Amino acid sequence: MLQAFGNIFKVPELRKKVLFTLLIIIIYRIGAYLPTPGIDGVALARFFASIARTAGGQLFGIMGMFSGGALQKATIFALGIMPYVSSSIILQLLTVVIPQLEKMAKEGGEEGRRKIIQYTRYGTIVLSIIQTFFIALWLENPNAFNGMVIVPNPGWGFRFMTMLTLTTGTAFIMWLGEQIDQYGIGNGMSIIITAGIIESIPTALWQTYLLLSPFDPTHQQLAWWKFGLMIALFIGTVVGVILIIQGQRKIPVQYAKQIRGHRVYGGQSTYLPLKVNQAGVIPIIFAQSVILFPATIAGFFPKAGALTAAARHLTHGTLTYSVLYALLIFFFTFFYTAITFNPIEVSDNLQKFGGFLPGIRPGKNTAEYLDYVMTRIAASGAVFLAIIALFPNFVSSPRILNIPFLVASFFGGTGLLIIVGVVLDSMQAIESQLLMRHYEGFIRRGKLKARRAS
């Protein structure tokens, strides 16, 4: 594997792509430290430090994970790339509902794809404007910060400046991701999200070091045996995530022989890969958005009694939160799988090109069989996603390991799924470039399997 990393810099084109991607990541991380005008950064940092170990701190930790901590610092990249992710998901859902968008996506070709991308950009700007307006109102409200004044000069001037600054920051991040797609290696948006998540690793390691207190055993909060158990759990979780992400059910497909002129076509056997984790991390993102919505709105309107009560019952780590979170993951897993995988369409395509499943009649019977198999696979994927998403709650529970949520978040959840998935995708993209130029890949026998982009 080390030799494969060395081979990267022997291929000029690949070397340029990797270095360009690293340059974009550096630019992104610099922007994550540029403050938004009109905000008292010292007071804001003091507030977040005061709620670090509370449910509110965990809430902001989850919300700020995708921005690499930029949300807690209220920098120009505070929104991160999440408005773009939300816009792309919404447009993907509308593509199934609106016939014009569905026709554009399927029959429009390159021009249709460009229009879909352009609509996604417009949606990103609209969502950013709406979110930044509420963020500005929240920053102006001293009641939300326990009496601290975060904005010395509130008013419409500050609101317009915040909306313009944060929306521009999101648009710039979107542009950076597109530059990686065009000139770098891997999926640009996924790499930017991963860079933001990885940014919190040094802080998590430092918190773990403080819990161990190797030079002051009297203040040690984490026993060494628990630390060893944490390492074992982390390795096991990563291995499990890799296996599930790469796992697939291979449905055998046989193509009938076709005689055209003096040539015989078809007759070969292949397989139809059905991913175990067909929906990717989308169900976890959707479930988090829904379950955090009451708490987020309650933060903007602290005097709303019903919202405050709902947010209190849906506090991170409570039984209600865990049960509802798991149910939402199950629902969105089946929902998103049904959107991305159409068994009738797959059956029609197989029949059109002379393919069939051995022992199953083409047409309706094939579609019903694929739907039956995909439903069972989706159920397995939903169970896996629910376990991974709730595993940080188990690790951070006061009755078990009692470690900070920032450290526990690396034992599961959206962050770990994204990191592992993006690393696998990037390694597969680099390996394909190396093998194409007759260099050895990351593994000596066979090659890395590609993962479906989420």
Q: SS3 string of 406-422?
A: HHHHHHCHHHHHHHHHH
Is residue 321 a part of any domain in this protein? yes
Which tokens go with 237? Answer: 């979780």
Q: Based on the number of CB atoms within 10 Å of its own CB, is 411 exposed (0-12), middle (13-18) or buried (19 or more)?
A: buried
Is residue 32 a part of any domain in this protein? yes
For residue 451, the model assigns a pLDDT of: 46
Which tokens go with 312? Answer: 């209190």
Residues 398 and 321 in one domain: yes
Is residue 418 a part of any domain in this protein? no
Q: List the beta bridge partners of residue 288.
A: none
Residues 381 and 272 in one domain: yes
Q: Name residue 150's amino acid.
A: I
For residue 24, the model assigns a pLDDT of: 93
* Span between the terminal Cα atoms of the chain, in Å: 26
Last residue of a domain, one of 184, 199, 214: 199
Residues 142 and 260 in one domain: no
Residues 251 and 384 in one domain: yes
- Per-residue pLDDT 10s for the chain (454 aa) are 666 667 777 778 888 888 999 999 999 988 888 888 888 888 887 877 776 655 555 566 666 666 766 777 788 888 888 888 888 888 877 887 888 887 887 766 778 888 888 999 999 999 999 988 888 888 887 766 777 788 888 889 989 999 999 999 999 999 999 999 888 888 888 888 888 888 877 877 777 777 777 655 555 667 777 778 888 888 888 888 888 888 888 888 887 766 666 666 656 788 888 888 888 777 887 787 777 766 666 655 556 566 666 666 666 667 788 888 889 889 888 988 888 888 888 888 888 877 888 888 888 899 999 999 999 999 988 998 888 888 877 777 767 766 766 677 766 667 788 888 888 888 888 877 777 766 666 665 555 554 443 3
Residues 151 and 275 in one domain: no
Q: Where are the beta strands (DSSP E) in 236-280?
A: 248-255, 258-260, 263-265, 269-275
Cα–Cα dist 306/21, whole Å: 47
Is residue 102 a part of any domain in this protein? yes
Is residue 282 a part of any domain in this protein? yes
Helices and strands in the chain, H and E counts: 19, 5
414 within 8 A of 391, measured Cβ to Cβ: no
- Nearest partner of 252 among 372, 350, 364, 371, judged by Cα: 350
Q: What domain range is 315 assigned to?
A: 224-411
Last residue of a domain, one of 199, 232, 251: 199
pTM > 0.75: yes
Residues 280 and 169 in one domain: no
Cα–Cα dist 256/411, whole Å: 48
Is residue 436 a part of any domain in this protein? no
Residues 195 and 249 in one domain: no
- Nearest partner of 177 among 115, 110, 85, 279, judged by Cα: 85
Residues 184 and 97 in one domain: yes
453 within 8 A of 418, measured Cβ to Cβ: no
Which CATH number does the domain housing residue 59 bear? Answer: 1.10.3370.10
**DSSP secondary structure letter of residue 78:** T
DSSP 277-320: TTTTTHHHHHHHHHHHHHHHHHHH-TT-HHHHHHHHHT-TTSHH
318 within 8 A of 390, measured Cβ to Cβ: no
Total domains in the chain come to 2
Last residue of a domain, one of 144, 164, 199: 199
Residues 190 and 233 in one domain: no
Is residue 357 a part of any domain in this protein? yes
Residues 371 and 308 in one domain: yes
Q: Name residue 239's amino acid.
A: V
Q: Which residue has the tokens 């395509």?
A: 349
Phi, psi of 35 (to 5 degrees): -75, 150
- Nearest partner of 396 among 266, 189, 204, judged by Cα: 204
Is residue 423 a part of any domain in this protein? no
The total of other beta-carbon atoms located within 10 Å of residue 313's CB is: 12
- Nearest partner of 139 among 290, 131, 64, judged by Cα: 131
Residues 105 and 242 in one domain: no
Q: Name residue 303's amino acid.
A: K
* 25-37 per-position pLDDT tens digit: 999 988 888 888 8
Residues 182 and 249 in one domain: no
For residue 20, the model assigns a pLDDT of: 92
